[in-house]
Amino acid sequence: MELLWLALALLQRSFLLLWTAGCILLALAVRLGSGDVRLPLAMARSLWAPPLFRIAGVRLEVSGLEHIDPGLAYLYAANHQSSLDTPALFVALPAPLRFVARAGLRRIPFLGWYMAAMGMVFVDRSSRARGAAATRRAVAILAGGGSLLTFPEGTRTRDGRVGLFKGSALVSAIEASVPVVPVAICGAHQVLPRGGFRARPGTIHVKVCRPVATAGLGVGDRHTLAREVQARVAEAVGEG
């Protein structure tokens, strides 16, 4: 039986890698041909992500979409439980979604190529200048009417609980004067925990909370804003 589960896990992982690589190549071709990121980003939601959940036996439930207007720019701020968070958020949130990600992801073949071509924001904290450049890039996207998603904890949780939200992750929303939308992810840790090899059948809930306004805030308010957003996510997860 143990060998059977291992074989199933290897099959899942092989499908994930091959399917993702194929979708990335197709998205890059569409990006090159169209000169626009909207269609290849939409492909992540409609083409890439759904089969990943089906093969893993994972059900996705979404609530709270009535709190947002898909035509407006937001900085979505989500807790980070699993590597399945990204496809879950692509499907759940009705926007051409770009992510704020650590700079090291840019060096990963296929994934880094896709993220760079789609205009994802890479954050390099090795120097103040690089960090400031990433913030300016994020502000430009938000001020231009685009939406971004950030994981303010900075990394995936080890136990599924909501970690500390960093104020620096929300500075771009303050500077662009766009609302921050807290997004709670529940169940992803049980389906595929950090360091896990095989996804387990289960349900992932994505709960979209009411936006938190940033109008009138300054950069000095970033930590207060982060505490408010973290509290709303923790309450939605069930830790409040």
The residue-averaged pLDDT of 204-214 equals: 97
Closest CA to 123 of 151, 85, 142: 151
The domain locations on the chain are: 2-237
* pLDDT category of residue 7 using cuts at 50, 70 and 90: low
For the cut 90, the answer to whether the pLDDT of residue 20 exceeds it is: yes
2-237 has which CATH code? Answer: 3.40.1130.10
How far from chain centre, in Å, is Cα 68? 17
Would you state the pLDDT for residue 5?
Answer: 59
Write down the mean pLDDT value for the chain: 91
Closest CA to 45 of 137, 118, 107: 118
What is the rounded distance in angstroms from the CA atom of residue 156 to the CA atom of residue 145? 28
What is the rounded distance in angstroms from the CA atom of residue 102 to the CA atom of residue 123? 5
Would you state the pLDDT for residue 145?
Answer: 95
Closest CA to 177 of 134, 132, 221, 122: 221
Most confident of 67-71, 160-164, 186-190, 229-233: 229-233
122-131 pLDDT, tens per residue?
998 777 888 8
Q: Give ∠ CA 148-54-151 in degrees, rounded to 5.
A: 25
Would you state the pLDDT for residue 240?
Answer: 54
Q: Which 3 state secondary structure label does DSSP give 62? A: strand
Would you state the pLDDT for residue 12?
Answer: 74
Note whether 148 and 98 are within 8 A (CB).
yes
110-120 pLDDT, tens per residue?
999 999 999 99
The residue assigned the tokens 């929303």 is 173
The residue-averaged pLDDT of 185-191 equals: 93
What is the rounded distance in angstroms from the CA atom of residue 208 to the CA atom of residue 3? 40
Would you state the pLDDT for residue 125?
Answer: 79
28-76 pLDDT, tens per residue?
999 999 999 999 999 999 999 999 898 888 999 999 999 999 899 999 9
82-98 pLDDT, tens per residue?
989 999 999 999 888 89
Would you state the pLDDT for residue 13?
Answer: 78
Note whether 88 and 60 are within 8 A (CB).
yes
Q: How many CB atoms lie within 10 A of CB 203?
A: 13
